[in-house]
Amino acid sequence: MSIYDYHKVRTLSGKPADLGAYEGKVLVIVNTASKCGFTPQYADLQKLYDKYKDRGLEILGFPCNQFGEQEPGSASDVQHFCEINYGVTFPLFEKTLVRGPHAHPLFRYLTEQAPFEGFDTSSASGKMLHAFLSEKLPEYLEGNDIKWNFTKFLIDREGNVVRRFESPVEPLDMEPAIEALL
- What is the three-class DSSP state of 130? helix
**Domain range for 52:** 3-181
User: Which has more pLDDT, 6 or 94?
Assistant: 94
Distances 41 to 18, 29, 117, 180 between C-alpha atoms, Å: 25, 13, 21, 21
- pLDDT at residue 103, rounded to an integer: 96
Which residues touch 171 (CB under 8 Å, ≥6 apart)? 28, 41, 44, 45, 47, 48, 152
What integer is the mean pLDDT of 120-129?
Answer: 95
**Which residues does 31 contact at the CB level (< 8 Å), separation at least 6?**
61, 62, 63, 64, 96, 98, 107, 146, 149, 150, 151
- Interatomic CA distance for residues 144 and 175, integer angstroms: 24
In this structure, what CATH number is given to the domain that contains residue 62?
A: 3.40.30.10
Dist. CA 68–CA 76, nearest whole Å: 20
Q: What is the CA radius of gyration of the chain?
A: 15
Catalytic residue among 36, 57, 110, 155: 36
Residue 1 pLDDT class (50, 70, 90 cuts): confident
CA 39 to chain CA centroid, Å, is 11
The answer, as to whether pTM is greater than 0.85, is: yes
Report the mean per-residue pLDDT for the chain: 96
Q: What was the pLDDT predicted at 2?
A: 85
Q: What is the pLDDT of residues 29-84, one digit of tens each?
A: 999 999 999 999 999 999 999 999 999 999 999 999 999 999 999 999 999 999 99
Q: What is the arithmetic mean of pLDDT over 120-149?
A: 96
- Which tens digit of pLDDT belongs to each residue from 95-114? 999 999 999 999 999 999 99
- Strand 57-63: give its sheet, edge to edge: 57-63, 26-32, 152-155, 161-165
82 is an active site residue: no
| Number of domains within the chain | 1
* Spatial CB neighbours of 129, under 8 Å, sequence gap ≥ 6: 119, 147, 148, 166, 167, 168
Mean pLDDT, residues 106-130: 96
